[in-house]
Chains A and B, each alone.
Chain A
């Protein structure tokens, strides 16, 4: 067996695959933008047909459950020691242009002033339908959300929000507009990182922009199954159908969206709403970033393992793009991440030997152009923000190496603790990372 040849073809295959993939992202995003404008211009009612294949669309309304109030949105904010940021989050909800909502703060046994701040907010804003549901002990984010959704939420729609995130005033209105289509089960929000001037802040901002832009292609191809927890909106009936959040993975939000997708996505599906804008805080230190990414990667792999049955599944319930493209690509990306140092070494070695800087320069030019296109075509950025991010764009190529390193470390740590990927614990508790707002509070206190 010719090892050199195997490595060459592996490298060639992955390189070509990713070049094509990048191109598809951009092309898909362009078509998504057209579709988005068409959707806004030509609002039509689409009524469901009589026969429904087994999927989330057949969600049943149980008598035991609280009755849904049509048009009401239950916003559930999961909080665990979020005193620096919780008021800002509630403020953003209060400024929403959609007024028919109820807000629940699922206080997961916070030991700081979170509960007191929320109660104070209740007193100051009695017109806001705000309630706090306090857990007696730290039960984990998924279990805390479940507790609120099962016992208290009455809305026809549910929007979940992290306590460190804020929503734009028209986010709820825009999210609900996607549910005009009766086959939309959930809407993923366009999550942006709050303005940061640090290297890590800019890196996370670029990463979020590029990552969420890729969702446009997935949404268009109807193969999206990863919906984050920030400002994601679901139909309550669908959540009841799937039994709300699972608590056996580290990323309960991805677990929920994957669980809904696993019921079938051919007709009932997830949509990415580019105009449902939410902003979240980036982490401040490399250590915190590494910790966050480890948690995300571990949870993602747990879900990929848990729902591995969807990969290459020929069932008519799933679209081919999901089972033969999105799921295998998700697995492949983990593999390519692990072999990326080898590929990088291989590329640099041959570039030096053949004295050809074309690959390095080409990769740099491609990533920079890709970043610039993402910035310029982002419909939610102001002109000033576009100019500012365009100035930073030439550094994106180098910044992504930092992220690659962080992701690689996370992947290695996942392999080291691979037992938990298959034998998942019942409950996963959580701890908030250090955020910019917390530093502001500490500084003020000092």
Chain B
């Protein structure tokens, strides 16, 4: 059987040099491997520690979120943009996180946030609660005075028609109308 040492190599003169270089390469790769494995171990420890920290914080946030919706949100905390919206402030029960998400203002899912970026799709009736001020005047959005054009004076607490209806009997009046009517009476 031919021994491996007797196999002729192409460059006999460089054999010793190449052998030494190969061994030095092995040494270097071994040292490099040790360094890298230490690095990997360190980052693995960091991984476990980091994951534990964020898991705990996630659990803490989840606990807070489960408690938070039960508490009513004060009306002062709700951002308002226009006088029209002030008039039809939704009830406190509607101002939970879920309600805001449905409006698409502070959406939590990608779809809701992306919907803000794409051209507006027709919005469902239950999503348009904040714009029901238009429904009172029964006019389109373009016909309603915009915030900049709106008069500075405050509106009356109860809106009265400028002209009396032709058939007064047909008009429904609640008990709330009585003091208002009295206040506007011309009789002494």
Of the four ranges (under 10, 10 to 19, 20 to 34, 35 or more), the interface on chain B belongs to: 35 or more
Taking the complex as formed, is A169 at the interface, i.e. its CB lies under 8 A from any CB of chain B?
no
Residue A92 lies at the interface, judged by CB distance under 8 Å to chain B: no
Instruction: Please classify the interface of chain A as helix (H, G, I), strand (E, B), loop, or mixed, using the class held by over half of its residues.
Output: helix
| Chain A residues at the B interface, C-beta cutoff of 8 Å | 2-5, 8, 11-12, 15-16, 19-20, 22-23, 26-27, 30-31, 33-34, 37-38, 40-43, 45, 47-48, 61, 67-72, 100, 156-157, 176-180, 182, 235, 237, 350, 352-354, 356, 358-359, 362, 366, 369, 373, 377
Q: Would A41 and B14 be within 8 Å (CB), given that A30-B47, A180-B109 are in contact?
A: no
The CA of A369 and the CA of B44, in the complex, are separated in Å by 14
When C-beta atoms are compared, the residue in chain B nearest to A35 turns out to be B50
B26 contacts A45, C-beta separation under 8 Å: no
CA distance A177 to B111 in the complex (A): 9
Work out how many contacts link A and B, with CB atoms closer than 8 A.
147
Inter-chain CA distance A359–B24, complex, in Å, is: 12
Which residues of A are found within 8 Å of B68, using beta-carbon distances? none
CB distance from B155 to the nearest CB of A (A): 35
Is B99 in contact with chain A by the CB < 8 A criterion? Answer: no
Tell me the smallest distance from the CB of B21 to a CB of chain A, in Å.
6
> Shortest beta-carbon distance, A93 to chain B, in Å?
18
How far apart sit A31 and B11, CA to CA, in the bound complex (Å)? 47
Can you show 23 pairs from A to B with CB atoms below 8 A apart?
A3-B10, A5-B18, A8-B18, A16-B28, A19-B33, A26-B40, A26-B43, A30-B40, A33-B47, A33-B50, A41-B61, A42-B57, A42-B58, A42-B61, A70-B114, A70-B118, A71-B115, A157-B110, A176-B111, A237-B118, A358-B30, A362-B29, A362-B33
In the bound complex, do residue B109 and residue A4 qualify as a contact, i.e. CB atoms below 8 Å apart? no
* Binary A-proximity of B1-45 (CB < 8 A = 1, otherwise 0): 000110000110010001101110110111011001101100110
User: Can you name the residue of chain A whose Cβ is closest to the Cβ of B114?
Assistant: A156
- Residue in B25, B33, B106, B117 whose CB lies within 8 Å of A366: B33
Instruction: Report which of B5, B30, B32 forms a contact with A20, defined as CB distance below 8 A.
Output: B32
Complex CA gap A356/B30 in Å reads 13
Nearest Cβ distance between residue A102 and chain B, in whole angstroms? 14
